Chain A
Amino acid sequence: MSPVSSVGSPLTSLYAQIAGANKAPPVLPDSLKVGAPTTAPSGEGFAKVFDQLIGTVESKQTQANAITQNVLVGGQGQLHQSVIAMQEASVAFSLMVEVRNKLVDSYQELMRMPV
């Protein structure tokens, strides 16, 4: 368990967000309890989260491109800054791809459910 602890807290909270939006949470939220006022469906909140994710991925890519271009044309950019920025952009991008895969999978699972 310890190797994951250094990145545990931000990542587990991230996954909690994704998990909470995809499946019904184990505890019934107030919106579904009998007699409680209806609130906006959780799908709305997740779309915003995903938009934010795309925006951050794009900014990370732009940042990596800027530093890499600086190194390529012989400017002040350092090699390790470019390598690290490219790796971070790749990590962010693969996170987005995995979220998209999970979304598609859960959509397909929903479609497979007999009505």
Chain B
Amino acid sequence: MIEPLFASNNYQVACKLLDAATLRHEAIAANVANAETPGYKRMDLAPGFATELRASIARGDLAQTAANLQPSLEEDTHARSVRPDGNSVEIEHELLEMNRNSAEHEYLTQVVTYNLKQLKMAITGNNSAP
């Protein structure tokens, strides 16, 4: 009876993408930390997660497959090695990605908060203070 309350598509997608955004920040932190380590290849989210999520939404079975859909990290094979020592990290690119990820994270927390506040308002019938 409670589950349908939290089965709204946007809410589920936002929760999953929050997992991905947090993981992505860790990958970016590792990239920035190793910006000068010889031979280090940059890490990023595996593209399979996004495609699977989109396919799941298109099929309409997100509620069932949500538990199996987990973001993961992998070496970014598209990153060109711009330095002679084989390091493929470009620090400006990493900082831009970090800002983008941060903005996405903020947006996703807004979506989740919005859904939760709607539920609380509908249940208690008044604009409850935090």
A adjacent to B, CB under 8 Å:
yes
Q: Which residues of A contact B116 (CB under 8 A)?
A: 87-88, 91
8 A Cβ contacts from A49-106 to B:
49, 52-53, 56-57, 60, 78-81, 84, 87-88, 91-92, 94-95, 98
B5 touches A3 (CB 8 A): no
Instruction: Give the interface residue-count category, chain B.
Output: 20 to 34
Q: Which residues of B contact A79 (CB under 8 A)?
A: 22
Q: Nearest chain B CB to A79's CB is how many angstroms away?
A: 8
Q: Is B68 an interface residue (CB 8 A)?
A: no
8 A Cβ contacts from A15-55 to B:
49, 52-53
In whole angstroms, how far apart are the Cα atoms of A98 and B122 in the complex?
11
Query: Given A11-B5, A14-B4, A6–B19 Cβ distance below 8 Å?
Result: no
**Chain B contact surface mostly:** helix
A84 touches B10 (CB 8 A): no
Query: Given A10-B4, A14-B5, A88-B6, A78–B19 Cβ distance below 8 Å?
Result: yes
Q: Is B82 an interface residue (CB 8 A)?
A: no
User: Which of B1, B15, B19, B115 interacts with A49 by CB under 8 Å?
Assistant: B1
A95 touches B123 (CB 8 A): yes
Q: Is A7 an interface residue (CB 8 A)?
A: yes
Closest-by-CB residue of B relative to A79 is: B22
Q: Nearest chain B CB to A113's CB is how many angstroms away?
A: 25
**Chain A contact surface mostly:** helix
Q: Is B79 an interface residue (CB 8 A)?
A: no
In whole angstroms, how far apart are the Cα atoms of A2 and B104 in the complex?
24
Q: Which residues of A contact B118 (CB under 8 A)?
A: 3-4, 6-7
In whole angstroms, how far apart are the Cα atoms of A94 and B22 in the complex?
29
In whole angstroms, how far apart are the Cα atoms of A57 and B119 in the complex?
15
A80 touches B6 (CB 8 A): no
A6 touches B115 (CB 8 A): yes
A53 touches B5 (CB 8 A): no
User: Can you list 19 A-B contacts (CB < 8 A)?
Assistant: A3-B118, A4-B118, A6-B8, A7-B5, A7-B115, A10-B7, A10-B8, A11-B119, A14-B4, A56-B2, A84-B18, A87-B116, A91-B116, A91-B119, A91-B123, A92-B2, A94-B120, A94-B123, A95-B2
Chain B residues near A (Cβ < 8 Å): 1-8, 10, 15, 18-19, 22, 109, 112, 115-116, 118-120, 122-125
